[in-house]
Structure 1
Amino acid sequence: MKISASIKSSFQSHEVNVETESNNKNILIAHKAEGYGSSVNGGEFLFLALATCFCNDLYREAIKRNMKIDSVEVKVSGEFGGEGEPAKNISYKVKIEAKEHSDVQINDLITFVDNIAEIHNTLRQGITVELEK
């Protein structure tokens, strides 16, 4: 599956596009108050990627188990230090409402998804990010 993301930014203009297998989506993200760059920082997007991945994978895996999920809440938090320093102390909490299922079933689903979530596993194993020139 080929995925890409792009930003085109200039004074008071900030265009964000994501694409998966030729399925383009424009995302409305405001520019910074000063006029240049994104009002949302990369760390926030990184944590949103973790939360989104877990949420989507949870629903996908629940369907496979014939589980009806009423609602999901995922909160990711962590810390960034100075410029150039990687994140640390990243953790997340999951709250699931699924009235038709036991706590054991819900916890089993959470544990399973934690082990297969692609964004989580990418960060856990580390990966090379290359600058193309």
Structure 2
Amino acid sequence: MASMSVSLRNVPGTRAAMGWAGGHTLVIDRPEGRAGGMGLGFNGGQMIALAIGGCFCNDLRYVADAMGVELETIEVDVAIELEGKPLLVTAATMRVQATAGEGVDVAEVIRRAEADSTVSNSVRAGFPVRVVAI
């Protein structure tokens, strides 16, 4: 079984958080004026949409590589719908466009990436999230 982990800490002088994995970082914050947010980074909903779309971009590259083809361009847009209290993501729609050289079945690359996408498949299946206060 593979595992991954990330860490998050508050950013001094703000109410934002800095998240990192290895040498990669990003800032998570609320919109300006909401619960002390300063709009310094992505909010949770945006992070979910970015995870879905970002994973899919990687999956397109993995699939293309396995098929021995190269994609020239990739465009992925993700829209999420939120409802309820607490607010929950109830649906996500991903619009995908890719181009490749002549003879490449881009639709097949997209179909295979959809079948293999770690984040999309995880969200579809659902998984428990446990909070442990230390």
Aligned residue for 1:114?
114
User: 1:16 aligned to 2:15?
Assistant: no
Q: d(CA) in 2 for partners of 1:90 and 1:30?
A: 21
Aligned-residue CA RMSD (Å)? 2.3
Aligned length in residues = 128
Aligned residue for 2:80?
78
Q: d(CA) in 2 for partners of 1:53 and 1:125?
A: 16
Q: Secondary structure at the match of 2:23?
A: strand
Q: d(CA) in 2 for partners of 1:54 and 1:107?
A: 14
Give identity over the alignment, percent: 21
Aligned residue for 1:68?
70
Q: d(CA) in 1 for partners of 2:81 and 2:18?
A: 25
Q: d(CA) in 2 for partners of 1:42 and 1:28?
A: 11
1:58 to 52, 57, 60: 60
Give structure 2 stretches of 5+ with no counterpart: none
TM-score, with structure 2 as normaliser: 0.81
Q: d(CA) in 2 for partners of 1:123 and 1:63?
A: 25
Q: Secondary structure at the match of 2:88?
A: coil
- After superposition, the Cα gap between the structure-2 partners of 1:114 and 1:38, relative to the gap in structure 1 and judged at 3 Å, is farther
Give the superposition deviation at 1:28: 4.8
- After superposition, the Cα gap between the structure-2 partners of 1:30 and 1:88, relative to the gap in structure 1 and judged at 3 Å, is closer
Bigger drift between 41-50 and 73-82 goes to 73-82
Aligned residue for 2:129?
129
TM-score, with structure 1 as normaliser: 0.81
Give structure 1 stretches of 5+ with no counterpart: none
Question: Aligned partner of 2:109: which letter?
Answer: L
